[in-house]
Structure 1
Amino acid sequence: MSQQSFLSRLSGPYLVFTHFVILALAGLTLSRLALMLWQWERVQAAGNPAWMLVQGVRADLILLGLLLAIPVLLAPVLAISRWKILWRRFSYVWCLIALTLLIFIELSTPSFLLQYDVRPNRLYIEYLKYPKEVFSTLWHGFRVPLILGTAFTGLLVFLAMRRLRAVATQQGGTSNKKLWLTWPLVVVLVFVCIRSTTQHRPANPALFAITPDAMVNSLIISSGYSVLYAIYSLRHEARSTEMYGKLDEATMLKQALDWPWLKHYQFNNPAQPTWHQQQATVQRDKPLNLVIVLQESMGATFVESLGGVPVTPELESLKQQGLWFEQLYATGTRSVRGIEAVVAGFAPTPAQSTVKLSNSQQNFTTLASVLKAAGFHTQFIYGGEAHFDNMRSYFTGNGFSQIVDINQIKKPKFVASWGASDEDLFDKADAELTRLQQLRQQSGQPFFSLVFTSSNHEPFEFPDGRIDLHEEPKNTVNNAVKYADWAMGQFFKKARQSSYWQDTLFLVVADHDNRVYGSNLIPVEKFRIPGLILGADTKAGTIDTLASQIDLAPTLLSMLGVSSCHPMIGRDLTLDSTSPGRALIQFEQYFALKQPDGLTILKPDGTVVRGTYDEAKKALHLSDLPASRLQYEQALAQVQLPSYLYRETKYKSDHRCDTPVVAP
């Protein structure tokens, strides 16, 4: 008896599925092996490569079990003798579609790894909403991989189609009685593959996080499994922090609010546990205007005085004129995470940023909602299309009165894949601020403008003749950052001569760093960002304490001279700039509470580790000693609180404070 006839007899009506599993396992294993060889230095440093390959096959069986669950469950109805032809066609089409998706996602993995230092994940799904921007980026920045990947996908799908079609014609049948008797065994086999463990919880990607390098951990599973789990996780984001453990509400609130800078306030309303009255430390007859320049991806990597590449000379010059943050950290790795932290003072969670979540699209507290209630005109200025990343919806629903995007920028000098260049953006911003200052002089109304740049974004397009290139070729991240810095410098030269300068407080801050990657479990160095407050009567100085993006909003409110009621628990650094600070870091599914004495890191499998960070060597050293219960609770409270506030709608801007402020 030939091997094929034996396989046909053994598989019966499941022959196409059997071949699908063989082809998929072979392809995914070869892909994993190729990726590990490509990243061999980090793979070898992280652990046992052979064990990683074994665990990879285990993860692949989970994915294949999930893909086969539906057709196997339908088998007692469709695989009976009466529907034999229909079952063959259904099996063939189902497996071909599944293989096509697996091949496409797997072949797109190298480019995604280069950009994000991890396999395709939730970002892969989110960006599908913006085909214009994504395709433009791929075409201009990854043209060769895109063409080769598409061609190779087509070739492999063609070969798979021929193989599966041939197998479908040979698929054996079986009596209805035998089908119904053997079907429970097949279901159990698929169930065992999906669960992959006898523990009380089924296996998930966290089970395969077996090394201290997040990128290497991502290689163990397949890209298809990573994307499928991301889709599944989107449905459970409201309680996403429960992967780390769970504190009761009283303990969570006690630990989350136990910071020296919050001792100045009273939180006595159980229904609105973080709402409080913040008394501005600076008293003004009229509040200042506020302009936030949110710099796309301009992290510490590009700031010489912070240990980076010397491509931000304008920023280095400006820091001598304002209040400079020496140890400021971003909360995440996406623009929407930076917007959430800077504009809303909202701490990070493993879920999507609140910029995209449904319960935060209206009446969610932001600087704009607080300042609008204080009589400010509020606006958002962006060189691209404001709908990207759901920004228009989020901003218009949460306090921003005016949206200015590329559609209002007339005759831009240069338009790139992501919109008008930064110099066009800043020219428009200068015109808008001049107009609003004239209105202020007439009516007394102050304004808040959020200016969001985009030139420092893959594929790094910017106009010629503006800067002396840092390196060749032209379209590199270092050159794009240098151009973005130049455009910002030109803006501030204009602003200093403007009518609005003396009445305006400016914040320059990065949303996140470019390409957050590294061999550390959490690449801490890639979360450090520049921050600078200048303008009006700001005195030059340095804030040396550890700080987070969520500390900026309360600090700005005080410096503006605006006393307000809000739920933001960031630190007003004008009130307390000496207490040891903290940074909140969300990296993939890891959360870290960084303090001067070390980091407490929560892992998605519910475990917690302690680590110390060597700033000079940019190295994270994990401790062999376990974290204490107090350290665990303190870290868990910081990430559980924002999830709780969002889920229970306790960050809504229609709440009011009913407790007095305690004088500092």
Structure 2
Amino acid sequence: MVRAIKQGTTSFIPVALFVVSSLLMLSLFRFGYFILYTERVIEAINPIEFFLLGIRADLIQIGYYTLVPLLLFPFCNFRKTHQLWLKFSVLWFSACFALLFFMEISTPAFLAQYDTRPNRLFFEYLLYPKEVFSTLWNGFRGWLILGVTASGLVIYTVYTFSKSMHKRLAQRTTHHGMAWLLLPVVLVFTVLGIRSTLAHRPANPAFFAVSSDAMVNSLILNSNYTLAYAVYNLKHEDKANRVYGQLTDAEVIATITAEDHLKSADFPFKNYPTVHFQAASNKREKPLNIVIILEESLGATFVESLGGLPVTPNIERLKNQGWWFENLYATGTRSVRGIEAVVSGFLPSRARSTVKLSDSQRYFFTIADALKRQGYTTEFIYGGESHFDNMAAFFTGNGFSNIIDQDEFSNPVFEGSWGVSDQDLLTMLHARLIEQQGSSQPSFTLAFTSSNHEPFEFPDNQIALSEHPKQTVNNAVKYADHALGQFFDRAMQSDYWQNTLFLVVADHDTRVYGNDLVPIQKFHIPGLILGGDISPRVIDTVTSQIDLTPTLLSLAGVSAYVPTLGQDLSNPETPPANRAMMQFGDSYGWLQGNQLTVLTTDGKQHQFTYQRDSKELLPSHQSLADKQIKRIQAFAMAPSVLYQSHAYYVPVTH
């Protein structure tokens, strides 16, 4: 009997070896992450619980890989086919082990950049190998070489071991009957490992979210799992934010359109429930040209008057000549999220930005579309390749008539991994504005900078470096500010200055990280509206990126139908809403004054008080009324409601 059991277990030796070796390897990597982030881990969770939960999470991913050969086993547990199954299982587990290792060796660089394990961004950026490889080579060269070398060695070792293992297993006698009896036991343990709980629903990433530090929560998992879960979630993107509440679509729409600045508006289109007519606060005979300069990763971190570093003297100088936003907050942490908020006024969500989603490539509102209907020429200028992040497709499908990207720049002063320098970009912008000045049509231009993007490449001898070596974020920001200052010095001396309205705003801050559910200080960004007849003013109330489009249209003298939910801050009849919303991973933040409410995917609401001077987020015991919670949930759910119903658009009849 003992001999039969021993012979029966022969079939499952590859399974046992894979499970044990994978658990050991993943645990060693997790120990390495623990060493790298000891303070944050200890502050967030008991280390023993950290490692035990990690093993539990690893068993989920290992179980999925193990399940494939086990489900094939009943079809192969016969004398003539058993060797074929053994060969397949050894090769399968070897490939899975190599993949587990590759993802883990890739993780430290991703953690350093994004403060989380590999997620959707990991495979999205694989679509842009030129930019990604340049960034890795210039910014993470040592780790790239180490990762490729280590992965190669592991693949070779695993391949050699798998050949030897298959040869040894082929020489062993197998008891097929006993293997049939052992299979249900192995399958049960595998399924239990995958579910990781006896509760009604199996475990998911939220199950392991045991602290308020999202990065630590991600370390409990493994990178194969976080990446696979991101891929799985793609099919749920159109309803990604419905997890934050139980409101009906009608309740969501009724709540978000009842805001003070919208309650008196008329919403005439049943199928486009947020579309309303916004009358411009500034009445003009001829509307102003509008220029948006979207600054890559230039957060409040780098603006001294906003509590940051003294590396943006030109922004400090220019802020006294227009509307300066002291408490402006980005909606997200990626460029496409900033584009979505600034250009479309769309609310943030857990899904990919609408710049990338399939159902928003046409018939989706942008300020360009609104202005094009008013007779404006519309243009996008970018120093890199405009196909990156799907920008070209989104823009051309939604109101932009002309796109200028890297191929259009002849003899640029400098070209880096992400395209031409900011000076080249803004020189092109200046030339285009001069050219358009002679036209009878007003113009709208979006210019998107890129010099302040890792690996932080910019021309030599343009600035006095803040630090050494040259290619650091502080030096890149200082260069971006230098290029911006040069542009405005020329613009103010040009004929187009008096009839052009400029918005300078960051898409997001750089490297958004922190051990809070939503690290508010890393969402704080500078914003400035100047030009034309704009008088200096300080906007000190909490403002969101979604408020910029309505305000720009109004200041430029453009009255139009819009679906936007942001506030026209130039309207004197409505007090500022004093709120901002932001998405950080799976957490949705709503900042009202200095009170932050965070909604999480488990249906809970978390309250904090934000201390702006110290940039600390402190737990708050202040409870919100049901009406206020419903308001926050409605805004959190609105992106999914509007996207799913194809409702964020102004019908062409208007």
- Common fold: TM-score over 0.5: yes
Q: Which moved more, 1:396-405 or 1:621-630?
A: 621-630
> Aligned residue for 1:209?
209
- Which of these residues, 130, 137, 140, is aligned with residue 138 of structure 2? 140
Hey, what does 1:161 align to over in structure 2?
Answer: 159
1:116 counterpart residue number: 114
Q: Does structure 1 residue 595 correspond to structure 2 residue 592?
A: yes
- Residue 345 of structure 2: aligned partner: 345
What is the SS of the residue equivalent to 2:540?
A: strand
Mapping 1:86-97, distance limit 5 Å = 86-97=84-95
Q: Give, in whole Å, the separation in 1 of the partners of 2:420 and 2:364.
A: 29
8 Å CA contact 2:242, 2:640 repeated in 1? no
Match of 2:246 in 1: 246
1:410 aligned partner:
410
Equivalent pair of 1:554/1:571 in contact (CA under 8 Å): yes
Instruction: Note the alpha carbon deviations across 1:559-580, whole angstroms, 9 max, x for none.
Output: 1111101211110001156334
The aligned counterpart of 2:281 is 281
Residue type at the aligned position of 1:141: G
Q: How big is the alpha-carbon RMSD for the aligned residues of Structure 1 and Structure 2? A: 1.9
- Deviation at 1:120? 1.1
The 1-side partners of 2:479 and 2:68 are apart by 52
Deviations 1:528-581 (A, max 9, x none): 000000001011111111110000000001011111012111100011563342
Q: Deviations over 1:495-520 (max 9, x none)?
A: 11122111110000000000001122
State the distance in 2 between where 1:376 and 1:156 align: 58
Query: Is the alpha carbon distance of 1:511 and 1:173 closer, same or farther for their aligned partners in structure 2, counting shifts above 3 Å?
Result: farther
The residue that corresponds to 2:549 in the other structure is 553
Matches within 5 A, 1:381-400: 381-400=381-400
Q: 1:48 to 1:630 in 2, by over 3 A?
A: farther
Amino acid at match of 2:427: D
Q: Is the counterpart of residue 372 in structure 1 residue 368 in structure 2? A: no
Q: What pairs up with 1:566-645 in 2 under 5 angstroms?
A: 566-576=562-572, 578-623=575-620, 628-645=625-642
Q: 1:449 aligns with which of 422, 445, 452?
A: 445
Deviation at 1:342, TM superposition (A): 0.1
- Structure 1 residue 626: deviation in Å? 6.0
Which has the larger displacement, 5-14 or 29-38?
Answer: 5-14
- Alignment partners' CA distance in 1, 2:536 and 2:157: 66
Distance 1:486 1:11 in 2: 70
Q: 2:44 aligns with which of 43, 46, 58?
A: 46
Which residue of 1 is the match for residue 514 of structure 2? 518
Give the secondary structure class of the aligned counterpart of 2:534. coil
SS at match of 1:545: coil
- Aligned residue number for residue 323 of structure 1: 323
1:246 Cα deviation from its structure 2 partner: 2.5
Q: Is the 8 A contact 1:139 1:146 kept in 2?
A: yes
Does the Cα contact within 8 Å between 2:8 and 2:174 map onto a contact in 1?
Answer: no
**2-structure distance, mates of 1:551, 1:567:** 12
CA-to-aligned-CA distance 1:219-247 (integer Å, 9 cap, x gap): 11111111111111112111111332321
1:281 positional shift:
0.9
CA contact (8 A) 1:117 1:517 kept: yes
1:652 equivalent in structure 2:
649
User: Residue 244 of structure 2 contacts residue 637 of structure 2 at CA under 8 Å; is this kept in 1?
Assistant: no
Q: Does 1:85 align with 2:51?
A: no
2:569–2:576 Cα contact (<8 Å) kept: no
TM-score by length of 1: 0.95
8 Å Cα contact 2:589/2:598 also seen in 1: yes
Residue pair 2:315, 2:485 contacting (<8 A) in 1 also: yes
CA contact (8 A) 1:555 1:574 kept: yes
* TM-score (norm: length of structure 2): 0.96
Tell me which moved more, 6-15 or 234-243. 6-15
- Structure 1 20/312 Cα, relative in aligned 2: closer, same or farther at 3 Å? same
> What amino acid sits opposite 2:595 in the alignment?
G
Identity %: 50
Tell me by how many angstroms 1:625 deviates: 6.3
Q: Which runs of 5+ in 2 are unaligned?
A: none
Label 1:384 to 1:7 Cα distance change in 2 as closer, same or farther (>3 A). Answer: farther
Q: Provide the C-alpha distance between the structure 1 equivalents of 2:82 and 2:92, rounded to a whole number of angstroms.
A: 15
Aligned position for 2:257: 257
Find the residue that maps to 1:197 and give its secondary structure. Answer: coil
User: Offset of 1:630 from its aligned partner?
Assistant: 3.2
**1:265-290 superposed Cα distances (whole Å, 9 cap, x missing partner):** 12354432101111111111111100
Q: For the structure 1 residues 16 and 398, does the alpha-carbon distance in structure 2 shift closer, same or farther, using more than 3 Å as the test?
A: same
Q: Which moved more, 1:260-269 or 1:139-148?
A: 260-269
**Distance in 2, Cα, partners of 1:126 & 1:173:** 48
Q: Deviations over 1:91-113 (max 9, x none)?
A: 12211221111111101111111
The 3 A distance-change label for structure 1 pair 79 and 297 is: farther
Distance 1:476 1:454 in 2: 14
- Determine which of 55, 58, 66 is the counterpart of 1:57: 55
Gaps of 5+ in 1: 658-664
Displacement of 1:595 in angstroms is: 0.4
Aligned in 2, Cα 1:180/1:146: closer, same or farther, shift over 3 Å?
Answer: same
Contact 2:322 2:535 in 1 (8 A): yes
Partner residue of 2:362?
A: 362
CA offsets 1:416-440 (integer angstroms, 9 cap, x no match): 00000110111111111111112x2
Question: Alpha-carbon deviation of 1:7?
Answer: 9.9
Partner AA of 1:105 in structure 2: M
SS in 2 for 1:507: strand
Return the alpha-carbon distance in structure 1 between the equivalents of residues 177 and 13 of structure 2: 18
**Aligned partners of 1:163 and 1:225: how far apart in 2?**
25
Q: Secondary structure at the match of 1:108?
A: helix
Q: Are 1:127 and 2:125 an aligned pair?
A: yes
Aligned length: 651
Change (3 A) 1:232 1:35: same
Q: Which amino acid aligns with 1:13?
A: S
Q: Matched residues in 1 for 2:79 and 2:431: separation?
A: 75
Check conservation: 2:5, 2:178, Cα contact below 8 A. Answer: no
Q: What CA distance in whole angstroms lies between the structure 1 residues aligned with 2:215 and 2:230?
A: 16
Q: How does 1:447-486 map to 2 (within 5 A)?
A: 447-486=443-482
Query: Aligned ranges for residues 194-233 of structure 1 at < 5 Å?
Result: 194-233=194-233
Change (3 A) 1:7 1:373: farther
